Structure 1
Amino acid sequence: MTDTANTEPPPGDCLPEPAAGELRLAAVLHALADPIRLRIVTELAGGPHELACQAFALPVTKSTSTHHFRVLREAGVIRQHRRGTSRMSTLREAELEQRFPGLLTSILNAARTDQN
């Protein structure tokens, strides 16, 4: 039995995203400014390596949820790939840390503080 959680998806199954060097601070901050998107990122940061979109209990319609995931992916905050009929999402922590040191950690810490 193999562990599929840490294997890379086939290239054709990955959805378009910016390369690490193309990440832009304004796009990342815009993506994280929305409470629903920040909630998605917080759940990805505190949970398993990857989650299916339907695993998030978001208080929005499916089409609005799809929009939020697309904004996060196009900003470079998350990576998505298809697995069967599901879209699996992974937080791009390493790339964000390399491009903007400490940014994601600071935002997640602030979000957790605001929740308390």
Structure 2
Amino acid sequence: MIVKQASHPSPEEMTLVTVMGALSDPIRVGLVRILADGRERGWGELRAPIAKSTLSHHLRVLRDAGLTRTRQEGTRCFVELRHHDLNARFPGLLDAVLEAAHNDDVGAHVTVAGDPQPT
């Protein structure tokens, strides 16, 4: 069986327009907020009020922009935020986005399995 490896742009290949475009959707901002804790998450742990295929699309947009790194282990996929690479390429941008998202409650409807649901 051949497993297709996900490609990830190097920090030098990341562009501001692509990163900002990826952050233009509340679901994707919510995913970034979840991943900002530095933990790698299994795709199955992520909860959003959308179809699994749509969640997969959003995760691919984040990966293609360079915001996340995806790793496959057997049949499971894991995702983590590329905080260090983003800060090296765009210093302060991620922290500013996360603070604004928290202040405006953007993406709060995206959760992790087992966490209490937002009210």
TM-score when normalising by structure 2: 0.82
Q: Cα distance, 1:32 vs. partner?
A: 0.8
Q: RMSD between aligned alpha carbons? A: 1.6
Q: Cα distance, 1:14 vs. partner?
A: 4.7
Q: Which residue matches 1:43?
A: 34
Greater RCO, CA 8 A, separation 6+: 2
Q: 1:45 is aligned with what amino acid?
A: A
Q: Does 1:99 align with 2:70?
A: no
Indicate the structure with greater helix content: 1
Percent identity, aligned pairs only, is 40
Q: Which residue matches 2:49?
A: 59
Q: Which residue matches 1:3?
A: none
User: Within 2, Cα distance between the matches of 1:22 and 1:87?
Assistant: 24
Structure 2 unmatched ranges of 5 or more: 107-119
Q: Cα distance, 1:13 vs. partner?
A: 7.5
Q: Cα distance, 1:40 vs. partner?
A: 0.4
Q: Does 1:32 align with 2:5?
A: no
Mapping of residues 64-83 of structure 1, within 5 Å: 64-83=54-73
Q: Which residue matches 1:23?
A: 14
Q: Cα distance, 1:79 vs. partner?
A: 0.2
Residues 53 and 87, structure 1, Cα contact 8 Å, conserved in 2: yes
